[in-house]
């Protein structure tokens, strides 16, 4: 019988096999690295861990709570980044790792604490992608129908839905962790999934175990780097975005004010720069930028009427591009390029009819601004309402993007996601065989007599499924949903979380990317198919059916996100001797605070977005809102959706990145170009700067030292990127809070010089307080001004 081999699985090396036979191979040694994902190594380490993990893997509640605190805080940061960019990328993982290294924690302690961090960070994923669609449907007029909004949120309605979503997401998060316990032995031990990119995490744990590499000092410097770049980012955004200049009852950012000074009545710097974007020439009136060029049939030859090009000064997009590198960043940008430089110009040039809910009809694009102006003027009564109607002309390319290309993008997201899952059919065709293997495992190894739990018992899973089933029914009934609809949803959740969650985790294990959006769209279609077609039998109105579908998809997204995050923690634990029981426990403990804080921030931001007080792209939420209107009212261009679906399928088939392509098409050029710049910058830096430096170290000190130095240097750049992400998220969240406070005051006081200075003083004091708290924490932890004796005391405490 030949050695089992696949595209990602290689046979064990002769030296590794010899070390395994002799029992000399151990955690983090060279032969372990040479035989990752061979299956033989993983089975050997599993047996070794069963005997020795109890001496290595120790639970420290205080350290776990610190990991949870980091994850909970950054769950809010992740919510902001996810709504702004459509990518739930978090820097909490890096920060928790380097903090553990700075405090001289063992690899086991770092791994357990960061499992709680990732649990807290990802527990609210559904609130980032799906839940905001409810607020968009209720308040954003682009989703309104001719007779008003599809959803009307009455007094206390938001609190009711938030309660249902948050509590249900907690139980779903627990269930997501529990479900993956079934597959841990099958997919990480017997036939290990590669989980591309996990080696970087493993290398950091290796570095944490070797203080002679200077890891402690480097970790301290990395944490300082985060603080410095967070401060730099917030200061830069303060200048670029904060309305600091007060003039005649209006406020404006410093950079916009300077651009206006350098502009004449119709042209100047303001025509190239406005609202934190460097862009194509635009109209300027009285030194103020008035946005993209309005369509004028007399100037049909003007290319700027057909598209919109620019670069947003967004540090977080550059940071995300740095994490992605060129290939992935380019594939996301490819969707944007196809959308803005091909589809948008075509739609404008051919005057494509698009459906406008406010008018209840399809209108040719070139005529749409005039039709909206006429409708507004017909209903306007007061002078302020007449002024709000604007002008008869408009930036038709922007309507083409929002009314036509985004439909195609939604189709591409769904098509790429579904085909990506179907493409993996061979890998999960035998999924029930894997389930059978898991349940036939030796359950006696879960608990070791006289030592404790090695792995969370499989027997708890059916018990928890029943508990979750009953709890979901009660939670949704308390949320005033009918009992039959609650029962049906609970059944669908249990099945989809298990089956689609298993498929999504399998895809993540092979590609490194979990298709949360793709699988969530499938669940939304299933829920809408049931609740909208059988709404009378289930006792639901159309609004309740839509709400239940969106809240249910929110809960599902949080559940499978937890399944995806726990696989990485389990995989690292196998290679360093940790007990899976501790990893499960850490993730489960992180769910509650992460769900509450992350969901709370996401709900607040979603409401501000829908009210128009902040500007966030929220691509998935907008896509879910669009789908809700289409399925509830049968409106929208289904041909555009079908075109996008086929395009997503093709790109997924050709590149394996169909969902990312569709996501890129949903974003605008100014927000994706910084991502591409960041990806190219990292590749060039690695090629021109890092590679020669590592080669020199390799020649002088050997491969092992060189690889550790590579990891440390890369970690330093990741800390800069983390600072960019954190700074923009903190600044954006604080600005959102102040915008909300603005709306609480009367119009006169809100625009007064008194309120302007009160607002500015509050903003400065808020950041001084946050900065002091972070400084005090770092000082106490020994990151700033620490000593070896102080570190030892902290570790022992």
DSSP code for 243 = -
Q: Which of 52-66, 212-226, 318-332, 386-400 has the lowest mean pLDDT?
A: 212-226
3-state DSSP assignment of residue 453:
strand
Spatial neighbors of 318 by CB under 8 A, at least 6 apart, are 674, 675, 677, 678, 681, 721, 724
Largest distance between two CA atoms of the chain: 88
Closest CA to 501 of 187, 201, 38: 187
DSSP code for 4 = P
Could you give the percent of the chain with pLDDT greater than 90? 15
The answer to whether the beta carbons of residues 143 and 529 sit under 8 Å apart is: no
Structure tokens at 15: 């030296």
d(CA 553, CA 525): 10
Residue 102: pLDDT above 80? no
Residue 438: pLDDT above 60? no
d(CA 276, CA 240): 6
3-state DSSP assignment of residue 667:
coil
Q: Confidence class of residue 500 from pLDDT cuts 50, 70 and 90?
A: confident
Could you give the percent of the chain with pLDDT greater than 70? 85
Q: Confidence class of residue 7 from pLDDT cuts 50, 70 and 90?
A: very low
Supply the pLDDT for residue 430: 55
Residue 3: pLDDT above 50? no
State the burial class of residue 714 (Cβ atoms within 10 Å of its Cβ: 0-12, 13-18, 19+). Answer: middle
The answer to whether the beta carbons of residues 64 and 113 sit under 8 Å apart is: yes
The answer to whether the beta carbons of residues 579 and 54 sit under 8 Å apart is: yes
d(CA 297, CA 484): 56
Residues β-bridged to residue 284: 289
d(CA 185, CA 571): 10
Instruction: Encode pLDDT of 723-781 as tens digits.
Output: 887 788 778 778 777 777 776 765 566 567 888 888 888 888 888 887 887 777 667 65
Residue 89: pLDDT above 90? no
Q: How many angstroms from the chain centroid is the CA of residue 401?
A: 23
Q: How many angstroms from the chain centroid is the CA of residue 223?
A: 23
* CA atoms in the 13 A half-sphere facing the CB of 108: 17
pLDDT average, residue stretch 655-668: 77
Instruction: Please report which residue ranges of 26-156 form alpha helices under DSSP H.
Output: 30-34, 40-56, 61-85, 92-102, 107-122, 125-129, 132-139
pTM comes to 0.74
pLDDT average, residue stretch 510-533: 79
Residue 432: pLDDT above 50? yes
Residue 249: pLDDT above 50? yes
Spatial neighbors of 92 by CB under 8 A, at least 6 apart, are 70, 71, 73, 74, 75, 77, 78, 117, 118, 120, 121
d(CA 678, CA 323): 8
Residue 314: pLDDT above 50? yes
pLDDT average, residue stretch 59-73: 90
pLDDT average, residue stretch 537-549: 90
CA distances from residue 53 to 17, 183, 201, 396 in whole angstroms, order as listed = 22, 20, 20, 64
DSSP code for 687 = I
Residue 795: pLDDT above 60? no
Q: Confidence class of residue 129 from pLDDT cuts 50, 70 and 90?
A: confident
Structure tokens at 300: 């049909």
**18 or 325, which is more confident?**
18
Supply the pLDDT for residue 112: 92
State the burial class of residue 601 (Cβ atoms within 10 Å of its Cβ: 0-12, 13-18, 19+). Answer: buried
- What does the mean pLDDT of the chain come to? 80
Structure tokens at 355: 């459906």
Residue 579: pLDDT above 90? yes
pLDDT average, residue stretch 620-642: 77
Q: Confidence class of residue 793 from pLDDT cuts 50, 70 and 90?
A: very low
Residues β-bridged to residue 356: 361
Question: How many residues in the chain?
Answer: 797
pLDDT average, residue stretch 337-358: 87
């Amino acid at each position: 019988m030949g050695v089992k081999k696949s595209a990602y699985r290689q046979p064990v090396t002769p030296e590794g096999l010899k070390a395994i036979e002799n029992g000399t191979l151990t955690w983090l040694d060279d032969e372990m690295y040479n035989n990752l994902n061979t299956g033989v190594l993983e089975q050997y380490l599993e047996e070794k861990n069963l005997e020795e993990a109890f001496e290595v893997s120790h639970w420290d509640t205080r350290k776990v709570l610190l990991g949870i605190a980091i994850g909970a805080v950054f769950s809010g940061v992740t919510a902001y980044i996810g709504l702004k960019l459509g990518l739930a990328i978090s820097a909490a993982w890096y920060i928790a790792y380097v903090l553990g290294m700075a405090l001289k924690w063992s690899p086991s302690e770092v791994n357990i604490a960061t499992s709680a961090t990732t649990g807290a960070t990802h527990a609210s994923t559904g609130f980032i992608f799906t839940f905001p669609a409810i607020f968009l449907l209720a308040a954003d007029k682009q989703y309104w129908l001719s007779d008003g909004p599809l959803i009307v949120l009455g007094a206390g309605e938001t609190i009711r839905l938030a309660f249902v979503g948050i509590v249900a997401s907690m139980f779903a998060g627990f269930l997501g962790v529990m479900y993956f316990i079934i597959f841990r032995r099958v997919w990480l031990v017997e036939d290990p999934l590669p989980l591309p990119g996990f080696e970087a995490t493993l290398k950091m744990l290796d570095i944490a175990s070797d203080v002679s590499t200077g890891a402690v000092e480097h970790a301290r410097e990395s944490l300082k780097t985060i603080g410095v770049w967070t401060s730099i980012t917030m200061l830069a955004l303060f200048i670029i975005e904060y309305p600091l200049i007060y003039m005649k009852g209006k406020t404006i950012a410093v950079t916009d004010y300077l651009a206006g000074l350098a502009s004449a009545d119709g042209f100047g710097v303001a025509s190239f720069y406005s609202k934190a974007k460097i862009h194509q020439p635009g109209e300027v009136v009285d030194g103020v930028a008035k946005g993209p060029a309005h369509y004028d049939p007399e100037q049909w030859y003007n290319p700027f009427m057909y598209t919109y090009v620019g670069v947003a000064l967004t540090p977080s997009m550059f940071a995300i591009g740095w994490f992605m590198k060129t290939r992935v960043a380019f594939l996301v940008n490819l969707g944007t390029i196809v959308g803005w430089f091909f589809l948008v110009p075509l739609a404008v040039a051919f005057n494509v009819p698009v459906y406008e809910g406010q008018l209840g009809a399809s209108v040719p694009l070139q005529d749409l601004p005039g039709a909206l102006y006429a409708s507004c003027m017909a209903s306007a009564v007061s002078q302020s309402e007449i002024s709000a109607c604007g002008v008869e002309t408009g930036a038709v390319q922007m309507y083409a993007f929002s009314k036509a290309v985004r439909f195609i993008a939604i189709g591409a997201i769904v098509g790429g996601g579904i085909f990506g899952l179907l493409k993996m059919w061979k890998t999960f065709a035998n999924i029930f065989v894997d389930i059978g293997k898991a349940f036939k495992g030796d359950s006696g190894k879960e608990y070791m007599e006289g030592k404790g739990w090695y792995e969370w018992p499989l027997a708890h899973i059916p018990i928890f499924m029943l508990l979750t089933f009953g709890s979901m029914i009660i939670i949704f009934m308390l949320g005033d949903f009918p009992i039959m609809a609650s029962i049906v949803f609970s059944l669908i959740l249990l099945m989809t979380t298990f089956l689609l969650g298993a498929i999504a985790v399998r895809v993540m294990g092979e590609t490194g990317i979990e298709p949360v959006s793709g699988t969530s769209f499938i669940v939304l279609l299933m829920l809408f198919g049931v609740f909208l077609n059988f709404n009378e039998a289930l006792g639901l109105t159309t609004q309740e059916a839509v709400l239940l579908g969106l809240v249910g998809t929110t809960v599902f997204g949080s559940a499978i996100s937890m399944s995806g995050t726990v696989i990485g923690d389990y995989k690292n634990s196998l290679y360093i001797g940790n007990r899976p029981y501790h990893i499960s426990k850490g993730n489960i403990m992180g769910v509650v605070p992460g769900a509450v804080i992350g969901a709370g921030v996401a709900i607040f931001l979603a409401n501000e977005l829908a009210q128009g007080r902040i500007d966030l792209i929220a691509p998935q939420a907008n896509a879910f809102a669009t789908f809700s209107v289409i399925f509830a009212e049968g409106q929208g261009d289904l041909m555009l959706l079908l075109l996008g679906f086929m395009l997503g399928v093709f790109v997924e088939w050709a590149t394996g990145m169909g969902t990312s392509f569709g996501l890129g098409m949903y974003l605008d050029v100014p927000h994706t170009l910084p991502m591409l710049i960041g990806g190219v910058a990292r590749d060039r830096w690695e090629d021109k700067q890092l590679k020669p430096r590592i080669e020199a170290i390799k020649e002088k000190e050997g491969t092992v030292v060189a690889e550790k130095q590579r990891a440390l240097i890369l970690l330093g750049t990741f800390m800069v990127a983390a600072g960019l992400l954190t700074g923009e998220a903190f600044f954006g969240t604080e600005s959102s809070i102040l915008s909300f406070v603005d709306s609480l005051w009367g119009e006169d006081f809100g625009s007064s010089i008194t309120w302007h200075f009160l607002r500015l003083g509050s903003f400065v004091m808020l950041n001084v307080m946050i900065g002091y708290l972070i400084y005090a924490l770092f000082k106490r932890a020994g990151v700033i001004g620490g000593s070896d004796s102080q570190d030892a005391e902290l570790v022992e405490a």
